[in-house]
Amino acid sequence: MRVRPRSIVIASGKGGTGKTTLTANLGVALGVLGRDVTILDGDLAMANLGIIMGMHKCEVSFLDVLTGKADVKDVIYENHGIKVVPTGFRFEDVHDVLSKVKRERVEEIVEKFLRQTELLLIDAPAGIADATIISIAAAREMLPVCNPTYTSLVDCHKTIRLANVLGSWARGLVVNRTGKTADISTGEVEQFMGRTLGAMPVLADIPEDSKVQEAEREGVPVVVYEPECEASVAINELAKVVAGEADLPYVPYEDRAVEETTNRLIRALTGRRA
């Protein structure tokens, strides 16, 4: 039995939740646990995952693969023990890419990414724009992120409902930047999600931590920059939860798992069924 590839989109309804920082650090933490991890920047217009990872000079990116200017192997970089697929900063190219992408090209890209990794983490842009839908539709799982505020919670709730429509499954959520300034407690977050969605446990609450901002200024993931700080400890515990899930509703790895993800992404990109 080969390793079953997992695709997990990390999403939030509102910008500024710390979702991109979480994606980078969770990926590194999973790598430390011995997992084969690839993180992909799904924010085609406002990409900054590479910055969090300290990667400022990537000559080719995911956009180049979508346009056929580069192959998958050309955009897989390695840093801090994991593979990173940056998108780049050419936001003016996004509309052209989405309007001209071909079914066959998407199928080839997704298949190659899923076959070369154990865990594919996709950093989705905030909101429910086209690029967000693309990212969520590409993944079989979603890890929603919110801050402990009412507006962030409501927006996160909408994103989870969107994921349900697109067939991406969320087993729980992350409350980021918790602490004394929080408007609501993690318990209240869980109660709200339970009432509106049936069940949505909080998998981790990550405290507000000045070391996170320090690490970003240095271009180093905080789990590497200061592994003993409160935020790093919480992220490492979340990584154990993600890596240790044993009862997820997966079939054994086979080609149809790759085909299912591919077909979702094709529908999101082109509006057509595969």
The two structure tokens encoding residue 209? 């931590």
Q: What is the distance between the alpha carbons of residues 215 and 235, in angstroms, rounded to a whole number? A: 14
SS3 83: strand
The pTM of the full predicted model, rounded to 2 decimals, is 0.84
Exposed, middle or buried, 186 (CB in 10 Å: 0-12/13-18/19+)? middle
Q: What is the distance between the alpha carbons of residues 173 and 106, in angstroms, rounded to a whole number? A: 29
- Per-residue pLDDT in tens (0 to 9) along the chain, 274 residues: 456 788 899 999 888 899 999 999 999 999 999 999 999 987 766 668 888 998 877 888 888 888 788 889 999 999 999 999 988 655 556 566 666 666 566 667 767 888 899 999 989 877 666 556 666 767 789 999 999 999 999 999 999 988 888 888 888 999 999 998 899 999 899 889 988 888 788 999 999 999 999 999 999 999 999 999 999 999 999 999 999 753 433 333 344 445 655 565 556 555 555 5
What the chain holds in terms of domains, given with CATH numbers, is 6-264 (3.40.50.300)
Q: What is the distance between the alpha carbons of residues 35 and 82, in angstroms, rounded to a whole number? A: 9
The two structure tokens encoding residue 226? 């200061």
Distances (CA, A) of 186 to 46, 190, 194, 206: 29, 6, 12, 10
Q: What is the distance between the alpha carbons of residues 132 and 138, in angstroms, rounded to a whole number? A: 10
> Rg of the chain over CA atoms, in angstroms?
17
Distances (CA, A) of 14 to 127, 154, 170, 192, 195: 6, 9, 17, 17, 21
